[in-house]
């Protein structure tokens, strides 16, 4: 009866809405705790103590493994990605996006680009994914592809100061200084304080005659 009462809650919150839920087992814990108490009524006090010791010994390795996974963003989202039955389930784009972000922190640019590409293939209209894919390409030295993704991001959301700033840095790397300055100005106009500071800074020595 307890399981049936929670079936629709579990079905709607996990099976339909979200494939990767950290707390899915919590739905069932109150009932399991009650069942444990009922089961303990048939045991003596000494047997209950030994049963608790046995439960701790069994659960400790499982808990340690879970803590090891959840202690690192990459391990967490990598496990979620490996457990996907297919890439079209709801939330798959978020899993690939978050694993890509974790790979960016590790400076694994190509792996991050692959995950952002997967996320973009599932949800091509998500501007943050396009922006992140552009950053991954730029970090990997794939400048043409990075610029293309930044252009797509601006088509989806033309007031994202981060994209203008990222384009400015990429253009500066290509020694297209005037275009880079124009992008910095747009980013500054959109309240990107850091872009404004870069604009206000004096040019590097020798830049004036390059």
pLDDT in tens, 166-176: 999 999 999 99
**Backbone CA torsion sign across 162, 166, 171, 172:** positive
Burial category of 74 from C-beta neighbours within 10 Å (exposed 0-12, middle 13-18, buried 19 and up): middle
CA distance 143 to 169: 11
The pLDDT assigned to 188 comes to 96
Eight-state DSSP code of residue 208: G
What average pLDDT does range 178-185 have in this prediction? Answer: 95
Between the ranges 44-53, 76-85, 89-98, 127-136, where is the mean pLDDT highest?
Answer: 127-136
The residue ranking higher by pLDDT, 29 or 78, is: 78
Residue 10 has pLDDT above 80, yes or no: no
Inter-CA distances, 133 with 8, 63, 74, 183, Å: 38, 35, 17, 19
At residue 104's C-alpha, the angle toward residues 103 and 108, to 5°, is 60
**Are the beta carbons of 84 and 95 closer than 8 angstroms?**
yes
What average pLDDT does range 69-91 have in this prediction? Answer: 86
Between the ranges 42-46, 67-71, 92-96, 108-112, where is the mean pLDDT highest?
Answer: 108-112
The pLDDT assigned to 162 comes to 97
- pLDDT band for 210, please (50, 70, 90 cuts): very low
């Amino acid at each position: 009866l307890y399981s049936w009462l929670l079936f629709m809650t579990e079905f709607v919150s996990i099976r339909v809405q979200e494939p990767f839920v950290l707390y899915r087992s919590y739905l069932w814990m109150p009932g399991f705790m009650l069942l444990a108490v009922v089961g303990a009524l048939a045991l003596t006090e000494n047997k209950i103590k030994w049963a608790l010791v046995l439960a701790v010994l069994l659960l400790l390795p499982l808990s340690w493994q879970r803590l090891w996974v959840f202690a690192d963003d990459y391990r967490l989202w990598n496990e979620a990605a490996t457990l996907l039955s297919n890439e079209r389930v709801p939330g798959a784009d978020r899993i690939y996006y978050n694993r890509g972000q974790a790979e960016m922190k590790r400076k694994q640019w190509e792996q991050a680009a692959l995950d952002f590409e997967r996320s973009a293939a599932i949800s091509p209209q998500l501007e943050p994914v396009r922006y992140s894919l552009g950053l991954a390409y730029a970090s990997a030295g794939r400048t043409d592809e990075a610029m293309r993704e930044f252009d797509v991001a601006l088509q989806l959301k033309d007031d994202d100061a981060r994209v203008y700033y990222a384009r400015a840095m990429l253009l500066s790397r290509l020694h297209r200084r005037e275009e880079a300055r124009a992008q910095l100005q747009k980013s500054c106009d959109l309240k990107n304080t850091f872009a404004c500071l870069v604009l206000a800074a004096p040019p590097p020595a020798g830049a004036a005659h390059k």
